[in-house]
Amino acid sequence: MWKSTAPNSPNAPAEPQRTPTTPHNPTPTSGPSTPEYNPVSAPRTAATSATSEQATIGKSLVIKGEVTGSESLYIDGRVEGSINLPGNRVTVGRNGVVAANVTAREIVVQGKVRGNMTASDRVDIRNEGSLTGDVVAQRISIEDGAYFKGGIDIRKPGKEGKDAQSIDNKTTTQTAATA
């Protein structure tokens, strides 16, 4: 009886091991091949777009000058100068130190920022964030524990464009008159 049980035990575990191995191989093969053609193409595009649309400035990077572009930016390093990303999101991470004027659609401060901020949508200063400078935005959020020193100018969506146009027109008129 011991001999017949011993061969059955190795055969039984061997067969279950082959069975799980076989399902694991077909599942990944079936999963990736099916998603690669249809379902995963759309999710990968969405995931890739989300990742590729956000650039990152790492902890050890220092940038001095002007940062411009057409994608969102996550700053965990140091930036000095100006950041101009209209229509995109700028996030200053917990390790981020920014000494710049920032222009973007949405600005999130988790680190330290010295400079003026202009957001077409909103500015969020999180609990560990620190902002010294003026803010121009439609909405602003300052969490408990955050540090803010500066002025706030809340602009309504309709008036923002009109004010900007009239200011540009006055500047153009003055420039033309002196020229």
**Rounded-to-5 percentages of helix, strand, coil across the chain:** 40, 40, 20
Over the stretch 30-77, which tens digit does the pLDDT of each residue have? 444 444 434 333 333 333 334 457 999 999 999 999 999 999 999 999
140 contacts 118 by C-beta, under 8 angstroms: no
> Any idea where the domains of the chain sit in the sequence?
55-164
- Residue 171's SS3 state is helix
Tell whether pTM > 0.85: no
pLDDT of residue 177: 34
Q: Please check the confidence at residue 136 and state whether its pLDDT lies above 60.
A: yes
pLDDT-based confidence at 101, cuts 50/70/90? very high
Q: Please check the confidence at residue 104 and state whether its pLDDT lies above 50.
A: yes
Least reliable range by pLDDT among 78-82, 96-100, 160-164, 171-175? 171-175
Burial (0-12, 13-18, 19+ Cβ within 10 Å), 164: exposed
148 contacts 165 by C-beta, under 8 angstroms: no
